[in-house]
């Protein structure tokens, strides 16, 4: 069965610093991978997704993620964090047997200090 692990529950960075949020997945074939962001009191918003092709994916708000098959990872990065990036970030993988279903990780909470 597919699964997603986000090893970091909580990360704190200074504004302007670079950011990397880790995501590891478990799936036998090429996965469909997503990053969603949840701002306080809001629903989730799609940042970016990977289906195939170029392993470096660009998303909204200056985020990017790199698919590394050898490491079963899909880490999210941003070169310079803004205070408005403080939120909960969720990695997700598309299920193999039913493409209507996303399996989410438990999230990483990002705090940004001025």
Partner 1 sequence: DTAVSQTPKYLVTQMGNDKSIKCEQNLGHDTMYWYKQDSKKFLKIMFSYNNKELIINETVPNRFSPKSPDKAHLNLHINSLELGDSAVYFCASSQAGGVVNEKLFFGSGTQLSVL
Residues that bind partner 1 (CB under 8 A): 32, 36, 41-46, 49, 51, 88, 90, 94, 98-102, 104, 106-107
Determine the distance from the C-alpha atom of residue 105 to the mean position of all C-alpha atoms in its chain, rounded to a whole number.
9
Helix (H, G, I), strand (E, B), or coil: what is residue 2? coil
Shortest distance, position 102 Cβ to partner 1, whole Å: 5
Considering beta carbons, is residue 40 or 114 the nearer one to partner 1?
Answer: 40
Length of the chain, in residues: 114
Shortest distance, position 77 Cβ to partner 1, whole Å: 21
Considering beta carbons, is residue 11 or 102 the nearer one to partner 1?
Answer: 102
Residue 113: exposure state from Cβ atoms within 10 A (0-12, 13-18, ≥19): exposed
Residue closest to 47 by CA, chosen among 31, 66, 62, 60: 60
Secondary element (H or E) of residue 87: strand 87-94
Considering beta carbons, is residue 70 or 98 the nearer one to partner 1?
Answer: 98
Considering beta carbons, is residue 13 or 102 the nearer one to partner 1?
Answer: 102
Shortest distance, position 36 Cβ to partner 1, whole Å: 8
């Amino acid at each position: 069965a597919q699964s997603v692990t986000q090893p970091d529950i909580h990360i704190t960075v200074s504004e302007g610093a670079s950011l990397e949020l880790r995501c590891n997945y478990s799936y036998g074939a090429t996965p469909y991978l997503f990053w969603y962001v949840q701002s306080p009191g809001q629903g989730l918003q799609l940042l970016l997704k990977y289906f195939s092709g170029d392993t470096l994916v660009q998303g909204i708000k200056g985020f990017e993620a790199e698919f590394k098959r050898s490491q079963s990872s899909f880490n999210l990065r941003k070169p310079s964090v803004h205070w408005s990036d403080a939120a909960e970030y969720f990695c997700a993988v598309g299920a193999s047997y039913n493409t209507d279903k996303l399996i989410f990780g438990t999230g990483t909470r990002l705090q940004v200090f001025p």
